[in-house]
Chain A
Amino acid sequence: MPEGSDIDDLVGQSFTAPQRYEVSRGKVREFAEAVGESSPLCFDPDAAQAAGYADLVAPPTFAVIPAFTGLHEVMARIGAPLQQQVHGEQGFVHHRPIVAGDVLVATATAQRIRAVAGNLFVTVSCEVADVDGEPVTTARSVVVVRGGAQ
């Protein structure tokens, strides 16, 4: 892992995920099934359209997929192995539901990095927007790197 001062320099920096995330119907259904969602909004395009949505509605925590493409940019610069990372906190504010057909861009900002008892607590905010730059979801994550401050 990089030295402490290099990690501190990350605070305030923003990184945009190199690839846009394209939301497919198949992925919305797959995610909805994996979390046991039963709403027809997640499975039936006619039901989603009848409710006023362009296409299938993703479950509320589906936003973790695009948000983590942004978070990954920060964690890659910290350089901690995946199995050393534990999820500490997560929050989402949805400006609108994610729907199939969305093309999303994630920009993550390292907000705070602090060492506590040998572990590194990394707070990252991530703005998920559509290709027109309209906000879709604001995500906030705290990742704990176990032993990351030793």
Chain B
Amino acid sequence: MSTFSVTYPVTRADLVRYAGASGDFNPIHYSDRVAEAMGLPGVIAHGMLTMALAARAVGEWAGGPDRVVECSVRFTSMVVVPDDDAGVEVVISGTAGEPDDDGLRTVAVEATCAGEQVLGRATARVRDAHAG
């Protein structure tokens, strides 16, 4: 059994950068006006950005992004990102099981923001770093 935990800050600038990099220009991720009109508490992070941070944490633990063979999440709660320089912190933690017959480990992942779970049923399968 192996565990890890990392904390990533997320700012409005990160949302803009992710929008450009991913091509996801849903205005709820950059416009307070649209976000509030849609009944949201404010601009929220792309769920896929949170998932990307989770996959990054898993990959860094496993020894590289190419070791993440599978990943899946539910987006259970929103990451609300204020329009300031500090943004918010997303905490990613994981618990890895032992390698299976295929040399893959299943990693149970948790992601929290402001004490709330923002991903549900988040799991990854990774190629064991020690199997090469």
Contact = CB atoms under 8 A, between A and B. Distances in A.
Interface residues of A, number: 38
Interface in B12-65: 14, 17-18, 20-28, 34, 37-39, 46-49, 51-53, 55-56, 58-60, 64-65
A51 interface: yes
Contact of A34 (B20, B37, B38, B71): B20
Contacts, number: 114
Given A35-B18, A91-B72, A57 B66 contact: yes
Given A90-B73, A92-B72, A93-B69, A82 B26 contact: yes
B23 A65 contact: yes
A23 to B, nearest CB: 13
A65 B68 CA distance: 17
A59 B72 contact: no
Given A36-B56, A59-B56, A61-B52, A91 B71 contact: yes
Chain B binding site: helix, strand, loop or mixed by DSSP?
helix
Interface of A: 27, 30-31, 33-39, 41-42, 51, 53, 57-61, 64-65, 68, 82-94, 97, 140, 146
24 contacts: A30-B21, A35-B49, A35-B53, A36-B53, A38-B60, A39-B60, A41-B64, A57-B64, A57-B65, A60-B71, A61-B48, A64-B22, A65-B22, A82-B25, A82-B27, A83-B26, A83-B37, A87-B48, A90-B48, A91-B73, A94-B68, A94-B69, A140-B72, A146-B39
